[in-house]
A = this chain, B = another copy of it.
Amino acid sequence: MSMDVTFLGTGSAYPSPCRGASAVVFRTEGDCWLFDCGEGTQTQFMKSPLKAGRITKIFITHLHGDHMFGLPGFLCTVSLQCGSNPTKQCVDIYGPVGLRDFVQRSLDISHSQLVFQYRVHELLPSHDQCPEGEFKDFLSLRRENSVDPEDQGRTIYENLEEGSYELVADEQFTVKAFKLFHRVPSFGFVIEERGRPGKLNMEKIKELGIQPGPICGKLKLGATVILDNGQKVSPCDVLGDPIPGRKVCILGDCSGIVAVGGAKLCYDADILIHEATLDDSQMDKAIERGHSTPKMAAEFSNLCRAKKLILTHFSQRYKPQELVTDGDEDITVLKTQAQSCVLFGQDVTLAEDFMTINIPIKKNN
């Protein structure tokens, strides 16, 4: 099954003509999910080959404007576009507490009525995710209205043991979130594809005298069977190695994780998308603002042994080499800095708007 991520916005703080505000699309044959939705994301969609109308889930890392001011307009435009297709499924939106109020009020004040349902599932953040005194409690914004709470979306609490929030668990994927440290509570998301059983070894099946049919099906599903001749066959006798699932980690703005659980969740990621707002020479300033540098991103990728590190969320002052003028910085310095810190030969890529990264199926171990 094909799987890729496309960057629609890779700039920090605000959208510019060179780099849109944060937005990443995760796509498989069946699913199309949006991670962050800065102002202008709907227009970036139009400039890309992707279809905004295919998005069924939206994940917002944190409540800074450059990650969510595009959300009300995105929903309105998708609604307009599928006006003739009122069968569009419910859109599930995930983000910190406060997001539901923002979406509902923005749609309300703008007299917008979507033709599809949406639910905003809110993650409950904690005080250790931002500097003391910066934490804002938006729980009081919850509107006690007549809508069934199930229809509005649920509240998602941290699983304290694992240090994770469980957002999605379907047949193909699980999506979990974990806490990041930033100027305001921020989250990282881990998409994990479920592993699949190995292929039937048809030679062995033949040797055992098994006919293609229900018995093969049972074995493939992991059940032990007893043949007519009384012989017991376990799945491991006839199945190749299981095909491991892929793992994609998309982190919000941060100067680090809050607890080691985050690194565990990201362990062995095929793709780690990490911010690098400023270069290493500005690390103090980056940390003060709750941001990372290439070195910090590389160190996290070392910790979780990610195979590929993609940097994004660049300060708008970093320009492609050929466009560098007075006051700008050459963006390639960020790549060099990250490369000099990776310990396991991780591939380092600088994200660009409209760049698509393919995530190939894994080979069995």
CB contact list, A64-107 vs B, under 8 A: 64-66, 68-70, 72-73, 76-77, 80, 98-99, 101-102, 105-106
Q: Does A138 contact B (CB under 8 A)?
A: yes
A111–B134 CA distance with the chains assembled, in angstroms:
9
Number of interface residues of A (CB under 8 A): 40
Chain B residues, Cβ within 8 Å of A116: none
Query: How many Å from the CB of A182 to the closest CB on chain B?
Result: 10
Contacts of A13 in B (CB 8 A): 77, 80
B69 touches A111 (CB 8 A): no
B77 with A73: CB separation less than 8 A: no
Chain B CB within 8 A of A125 CB:
no
Are B70 and A39 in contact, with the CB atoms below 8 A? yes
A14-47 contacts to B (CB < 8 Å): 14-17, 39-40, 42-43, 46-47
Interface residue A110 (Cβ < 8 Å from any Cβ of B): yes
Copies in the complex: 2
* Residues of chain B with a CB closer than 8 A to A68's CB: 110
> How far is the CB of A183 from the nearest CB of chain B, in Å?
7
A136 within 8 A of B: yes
**How far is it, in angstroms, between the C-alpha of A17 and the C-alpha of B43 when the chains are bound?**
6
Question: Could you say which of B76, B99, B102, B105 contacts A65, with CB atoms under 8 Å apart?
Answer: B76
- Shortest CB–CB separation between residue A58 and chain B, in angstroms? 16
Per a CB cutoff under 8 Å, which of B14, B70, B105 touches A102?
B105
10 more A-B residue pairs beyond the given contacts A14-B76, A98-B109, with a C-beta to C-beta distance below 8 A? A15-B42, A16-B46, A17-B43, A39-B73, A40-B43, A63-B109, A66-B73, A101-B105, A108-B136, A109-B138
In the complex where A102-B109, A111-B183, A184-B111 touch, is A46 in contact with B69 (Cβ < 8 A)?
Answer: no
25 contacts between A and B (CB under 8 A): A14-B42, A14-B73, A14-B76, A14-B77, A14-B80, A15-B40, A15-B42, A15-B73, A39-B39, A39-B40, A39-B42, A39-B43, A39-B69, A40-B43, A63-B109, A63-B110, A65-B110, A65-B112, A69-B69, A69-B72, A69-B110, A102-B106, A105-B105, A108-B136, A111-B134
Note all chain B residues with C-beta closer than 8 A to A70: 39
Q: Which B residues are CB-close (under 8 A) to A47?
A: 17
Tell me the residues in window 100-139 of chain A with beta carbons closer than 8 Å to chain B beta carbons: 101-102, 105-106, 108-112, 134, 136, 138
List the 8 shortest-distance A-B pairs measured between CB atoms, nearest first: A65-B110, A14-B77, A39-B73, A69-B73, A102-B109, A40-B40, A111-B184, A15-B43
Shortest beta-carbon distance from A127 to chain B in Å: 15
Closest to A67 in B: B110
- CB A209 to nearest CB in B, in angstroms, measures 60
Q: How far is it, in angstroms, between the C-alpha of A39 and the C-alpha of B184 when the chains are bound? A: 24
CB-CB contacts below 8 Å: A156-198 with B: 183-184
CA distance A236 to B64 in the complex (A): 61
- Chain B residue nearest to A68 (CB atoms) is B110
User: Does A136 lie within 8 Å of B110, measured CB to CB?
Assistant: no
Chain B residues whose C-beta falls within 8 Å of the C-beta of A69 in the assembled complex: 39, 69, 72-73, 106, 110
Chain B residues contacting A72 (CB-CB under 8 Å) are: 65, 69
| C-alpha spacing A69/B99, complex, angstroms | 16
